[in-house]
Chains A and B, each alone.
Chain A
């Protein structure tokens, strides 16, 4: 079945119903067997999580969509080799994370000004801790979201990926370990350091929130 056909007649009804009851693994196995409609369901199910993940990982919104598209394309290309050994999302986010990290490294010159060489982002840390008036001004400007984004973007790549997966994609830390190919204790360590750094960087906002 071609994609345009999915939008005609009963195909839509079938797919909406199917989306609710079928798990990712079954859908992916059907994609492996050549069922394009199942791929369409996976696309609809994960289009927003993928684009959101990339938008938080890389700043460029156009690049985020390009990378998300590349994830789906790679899923489709490797459908015949797909082995249901792990959760579908583990595979999906592993592809996405690798793409994102490569994209960040490709744009290293551009990103280095915010990330720095310090694993805990020391340069950026100073920027957030010291200037309380600046934070106040930014709060006045209603720019809280930008401050959060900058704080997260200032994290080292692995910490950023771990926090984004854990906090925004709601991925369990055990699954994050498989996505990042590190141990579970290593993931916990990444998350501890990342959340503590964020707490310190966004402390003015946390005080504001308490008031």
Chain B
């Protein structure tokens, strides 16, 4: 099966600023693909080129076999789009927006009222857009992106500015989109979001893609370190920990030991050591690296900076 989205050698400049440079990747059918990176890395520009809202200076893009530049209207009928920081008319009612959007597409696969219900907006259907909360607005934008039962859904920073509870609710909605067999392409600067939601991610910085893979594979590849924190009063603990194979360092502060090493079997080896020596343990924690650490490793700085 050919990829749903194919991007190859795309470059886009604004004046002298190179927003996106030599970006290439593919998105497969039925996956949630995330483009992750800090603000200003080129995520939105890349996404808007794919949606047909911007024209790249160089490179080729194909979405569902269509050229987003030449066949933008055919494309827009088959995709759903949620834009970063978009607004609607202040005094448009929720149902009016859905009604307008629904009238723009030829196929009427999605029932607007059912969509509102599944997004928890039924009791807001007569509310003005300006009176919705941030989470409700985002849910409305998701509803608008889904109204034409699209084959590919684009979500640009969809949980930015939301509280953790609203964020989790929206993640669940996105997983449900995938469950219905849709392909989801999203951007985020939240590593937790990427890790919990995406099947594959592309890390982008300064307009270039640094690496693409499943989140856990990226972590394994770039951050194989494992850290275990153990609290114990065993007098010979330090010595025993040091003798475990693959352990690279053991640091101690009072009765708290921090063990660092590489490989998945490190944790097993440490547990084995504890049980073999009948050591009394007050606390046992493993600290696994995450995408945040991968990003730090690859770019030399944190994504929040």
Q: Do A and B come from one complex?
A: no
Please report B residues at the A interface, Cβ cutoff 8 Å.
none
Please report A residues at the B interface, Cβ cutoff 8 Å.
none
